[in-house]
Amino acid sequence: MTEPADDLAHRIAQRTLAKRGDNYANEVRLLLDAAVAVMKRSGTASRARVADIVAESGLSNDAFYRHFRSKDALVAAILEDGTARLCAYVAHQMSKETTPEGQVRRWVEGVMSQGVDDVGAATRAVLWNTGSLGENREAGPPSPSGPLAGLLRAPFAELGSADPEFDATLAAHATIGVLVDHLWRRVSPARRDIDRITAFCLRAAASES
């Protein structure tokens, strides 16, 4: 039986859109990875230019502006992508522990790992390129504190926090603040830092019990 013309047209159109979607997703990934590479190479000596990012990606200006209004929009996407990757990594590390204390420590270790060696250099370079990112955002530049705090709520509740959401948010902001301090001072977090931050987080969880 012959397929109705409208159904055939719809099926072909959907196949074309799906292929285009895959191509566009690949373009976005190339641009994100290229931007991080350019920023890391430049460090804090200079901010990456769109032209440099496009050249690194092997794409065109049209491809860049198809997905991003500006470099700030790209940097915001990098921060969002990095936060998602970090949360996935930290959640995986926390899943290896059976006690809330162990999960909190794994959380601290995972967050502070962003300040070590090449990872720290890349993180610092991306932050350097945030520039005016928060100028047109009431809440300022995107922050990983919220998503990371979400990972602490369950262990904080188990540890006896009367307000796990607030206490987890407080601990996340404090830990991110310490991480940023280490990044700008170009100092890798030491074991003593991990111990002290973990102790602070555990006290925060128990402060209202």
Closest CA to 44 of 141, 113, 127, 114: 127
Q: Which amino acid is present at 126?
A: V
Query: How many of the other CB atoms lie within 10 Å of CB of 196?
Result: 13
Contact between residue 188 and residue 116 where contact means Cβ atoms under 8 Å apart: yes
Dump pLDDT digits (tens) for 139-152: 555 678 899 999 99
pLDDT-derived band at 10, boundaries 50, 70, 90? low
Contact between residue 100 and residue 155 where contact means Cβ atoms under 8 Å apart: yes
Give residue 46's pLDDT: 87
C-alpha distances in Å from residue 28, one per residue of 68, 124, 206: 9, 22, 43
- Residues with Cβ < 8 Å from 105, sequence gap 6 or more? 97, 194, 198
Token digits of residue 4:
């109705």
Dump pLDDT digits (tens) for 32-41: 999 999 999 9
* Angstrom distance (rounded) from CA 43 to CA 122: 8
* Angstrom distance (rounded) from CA 71 to CA 129: 9
- Per DSSP, the three-state class of 130 is coil
* Angstrom distance (rounded) from CA 143 to CA 139: 9
In this prediction the pTM is: 0.82
Dump pLDDT digits (tens) for 182-197: 999 999 999 999 999 9
Please report which residue ranges of the chain form alpha helices under DSSP H.
5-42, 50-57, 61-67, 71-94, 100-112, 117-128, 145-158, 164-185, 191-206
Chain mean pLDDT for the chain: 88
Q: What is the mean pLDDT of residues 3-31?
A: 73
- Residues with Cβ < 8 Å from 93, sequence gap 6 or more? 106, 107, 109, 110
